Amino acid sequence: MLPWYQWIILGFAPPLIFLLYFLKLRRVPVEVPSTYLWIKTVEDMHVNSIWQRLRKNLLLLLQMLTVLMLILSCLSPGCEGQKLAGDRFIFLVDKSASMSATDTEKGVSRLEEAKNQIETVINRMKASDAAMVISFSDTEGVDQSYTTNKGLLKRKVKAIKQTQRGSDMNRALIAASGLANPGRTSDKSSGSDVQVADALAATMYIFSDGAVKEIPQFFPGALTPEYRPVGALEPPDNVGITAFSINDQLDAGGQVQIFSRLQNSGMEEKTVGISLYIDNELRDARRVTVPGRAIPKETLDLGQDNRLANIEQSTPGAVPLNFDLTAIAAGLEKATPIRLKIDDDDVYMLDNEAYCVLNPARLANVLIVTDFNRPLELATSTDRMKKLAEIEFQDRDFLKEKTYQDNATLGVYDLIIFDQCFPESMPASNTVFIGAIPPTDDWKVTQELETTPIIYTNTSHPVMFDVQMGNVSILAGNVIEGPKGSISLIDSIQGSVMMIGPRAGFEDLVIGFPMIQYEENGDTSFNTDWHKKPGFPFFVQNVVVTLGSGSRFNALRTNSPGQPVQIKPIFPFPEIEVKNPGGQTETLKPRPDTSFLFSQTDESGIYEVREKGASELDQLFAVNLLDRLESDLGVRDELNLGYEAVEGKTTSEPARKNYWTWLVLLALVILSIEWFIYNRRVFI
């Protein structure tokens, strides 16, 4: 709508045309014998001359009609319009994978439907209303900051692209509430607490299917959230793969198995065909029946617009599905892509395929430099350890040999454990120092300590999984301090006795106490009873798995779309190429630790890694969504934002039918008629 002054200007147009029409009319003077008969012909011409002219002037009438149509179109007439409350709006658009489901009335994707609904709301905005657009999947992006430009808003909404990611609305909400709920700042010296900016109230429209993670901590403040659920009223039939992984060969007695899980978000059970492709060859096909939702439809309440309420309380039906790949894995020579596919199409196709990569077993290369450490020898000689790593024991003299120096420089070893010794320079691999510190300025011994109890063990670090240190005694040791970013794993009263710290892409684990005390007479005694505890073999295994890249040995864990993937090729290539499932290639340069970071993982599928220019494949990795929340297509009736439940409001927005385009069209038609009449003189 136009501001008032523009309306006034517009209002002057018809009388102006009216006047101009008569002013501009240059009549050709023609002398006639007498105007007597002419005047008689238009007898009342002088009495009502203006109206007489108007009556005669079809062209003027047509012109006035054209202008009238244009003015009417400026009024943007429509029907069923509603006045929007407020003057600031935020459009939060869910672009997560589930929004690609095509279960809407028009058969378009939920995202398209959401875009249409937003456009309707934008059309209803007043000229002075401002709005911003934020789209989110598992990340958020402000597509358009506050603007009153409706055209720009529409363009930006239209430009939102579907992603294959999960959804996390938290950060989007933070971005949305940025202006509405400005933070406060406190000044320590004055003790005052001031609000940094005025809160600008806004209405926040959330266009989503509600398949978002819980948002426990959100305070709407000046925001008025309005949830517009997008999608079918009832959960559509959709069978999807929500889990797909290969087991740890070590744990399953040499068996290689694929575990997958099928989920049905529909109300009724459904039978689908499943195909398993190994290296793009069909190896297995089954018919699987997946049960429907746990709670029957009849027991669910109907919410607004006959949408099933509390759909989230009814969990989708699911069925596990396993495949044995032991025989295939045994003869495996190269990394092999595995693809599981649901053959029946449904409204949500992104979860109908899942991928993983089966790598041939490769042992970690571990060097242990020690003069004598029986507990370590015992801990590394288990069957499980033999399947994990190839372990080489050398004494400290080996550090001076050229073989070591070459291998250390080339990064041949995945992990080197220095037991009470240290190299001249740090090798290109992860290290563990036992009773010694790395020969760099970053690591320091701050204090020697006597017998001390352990007060804290950081079991959240992968190295310390299942490692109990509570009853471990340490006779003597050092309190150590690592470089910036180091994490203490074991704390004594005096300070940390075990730390892990970063070094240019590698990690160094330093244990401040030795396992074995060497006496001057050559005798040895134990400095700790840790080796007698069950936690020690776990610790060694964790070290080999975590620091020796043990996780690469079997099937790689799959990555989620959008997450960056660290690629460590077999050799430190100067450049690598990564080919995505769509066939596009990206060249990467190495990071200081010779690994590569690939972030363009937006697409699900198998990615190929090779040296730049080489044809030989280095490795494969898989990207899968595998998100139960996304595959559950039941549209939530309400959203829980913090402590507030926001009820979904009418999905089918009372569409404002705009007629102004028709009026403009009509004006053009009238103009054409006028042109025709004027040029052909059919009437005048």
Q: Does 23 bind other proteins (CB under 8 A)?
A: no
Q: Does 33 bind other proteins (CB under 8 A)?
A: yes
d(CA 520, CA 214): 62
Q: Does 28 bind other proteins (CB under 8 A)?
A: yes
Query: Partners of 367 in the beta sheet?
Result: 392, 416
Q: What is the 3-state secondary structure (H, E, C) of 381-450?
A: CCHHHHHHEEEEEECHHHHHCHHHHHHHHHCCCCEEEEECCCCCCCCCCEEEEECCCCCCCCCEEEEEEC
Residue among 654, 681, 635 at smallest CA distance from 212: 635
Candidates 26-34, 122-130, 401-409, 606-614: pick the segment binding other proteins (CB under 8 A): 26-34
Q: Residue 221 carries which side chain, given as an amino acid letter?
A: G
Residue among 535, 519, 391 at smallest CA distance from 463: 535
> By C-beta, is 59 or 84 nearer to other proteins?
59
> By C-beta, is 44 or 344 nearer to other proteins?
44
Two tokens, residue 669? 């038609």
DSSP string across 505-532: TEEEEEESS-SEEEPTTS-EEESBSGGG
Q: Does 19 bind other proteins (CB under 8 A)?
A: no
For the stretch 145-154, what's the b/e string if a residue is b when 16 or more beta carbons lie within 10 angstroms of its beta carbon? ebeeebeebb
Total residues at interface with other proteins (CB under 8 A): 25
Q: Does 26 bind other proteins (CB under 8 A)?
A: yes
Query: Partners of 419 in the beta sheet?
Result: 434
d(CA 176, CA 278): 45
> By C-beta, is 54 or 363 nearer to other proteins?
54
Sorted by sequence, the CB contacts under 8 Å of residue 285 that are 6+ apart come out as 273, 274, 275, 276, 343
Which member of 35, 255, 425, 587 binds other proteins (CB under 8 A)? 35
> By C-beta, is 475 or 677 nearer to other proteins?
677
CB neighbour class for 465 (10 Å; exposed up to 12, middle 13-18, buried from 19):
middle
> By C-beta, is 42 or 669 nearer to other proteins?
42
CB of 684 to other proteins, least distance (A): 5
CB of 30 to other proteins, least distance (A): 5
Two tokens, residue 494? 């005096």
Q: Does 41 bind other proteins (CB under 8 A)?
A: yes
> By C-beta, is 12 or 36 nearer to other proteins?
36
> By C-beta, is 32 or 327 nearer to other proteins?
32
CB of 46 to other proteins, least distance (A): 9
Which member of 36, 198, 460, 582 binds other proteins (CB under 8 A)? 36
d(CA 453, CA 392): 33
Interaction with other proteins in 267-296: which residues (CB under 8 A)? Answer: none
CB of 18 to other proteins, least distance (A): 16
Which member of 2, 20, 39, 614 binds other proteins (CB under 8 A)? 39
Q: Which helix (H) or strand (E) holds 328?
A: helix 326-330
CB of 677 to other proteins, least distance (A): 10
Q: Residue 502 carries which side chain, given as an amino acid letter?
A: P
Q: Does 47 bind other proteins (CB under 8 A)?
A: no
> By C-beta, is 30 or 194 nearer to other proteins?
30
Query: Partners of 93 in the beta sheet?
Result: 135, 207
d(CA 216, CA 307): 24
Q: Do 467 and 523 meet the contact criterion of CB atoms below 8 Å apart?
A: no
CB of 35 to other proteins, least distance (A): 4
d(CA 544, CA 48): 106
Q: Residue 554 carries which side chain, given as an amino acid letter?
A: N
Candidates 35-43, 122-130, 136-144, 397-405: pick the segment binding other proteins (CB under 8 A): 35-43
Candidates 31-39, 403-411, 420-428, 496-504: pick the segment binding other proteins (CB under 8 A): 31-39
Interaction with other proteins in 48-67: which residues (CB under 8 A)? Answer: 53, 56-57
Q: Does 20 bind other proteins (CB under 8 A)?
A: no
d(CA 152, CA 600): 28
Q: Does 616 bind other proteins (CB under 8 A)?
A: no
String marking each residue 653-682 x if it binds other proteins according to CB under 8 A: ----------------------------x-
> By C-beta, is 20 or 493 nearer to other proteins?
20
Q: Do 232 and 259 meet the contact criterion of CB atoms below 8 Å apart?
A: no
Token pair 């047509």: residue:
62
Sorted by sequence, the CB contacts under 8 Å of residue 536 that are 6+ apart come out as 375, 379, 467, 530
Which member of 15, 29, 582, 592 binds other proteins (CB under 8 A)? 29
Candidates 38-46, 150-158, 192-200, 345-353: pick the segment binding other proteins (CB under 8 A): 38-46
> By C-beta, is 41 or 299 nearer to other proteins?
41
Which member of 2, 16, 19, 25 binds other proteins (CB under 8 A)? 25
> By C-beta, is 37 or 194 nearer to other proteins?
37
CB of 47 to other proteins, least distance (A): 14
d(CA 496, CA 668): 83
CB of 25 to other proteins, least distance (A): 6
The contact set with other proteins (CB under 8 A) reads: 25-42, 45, 53, 56-57, 681, 683-684
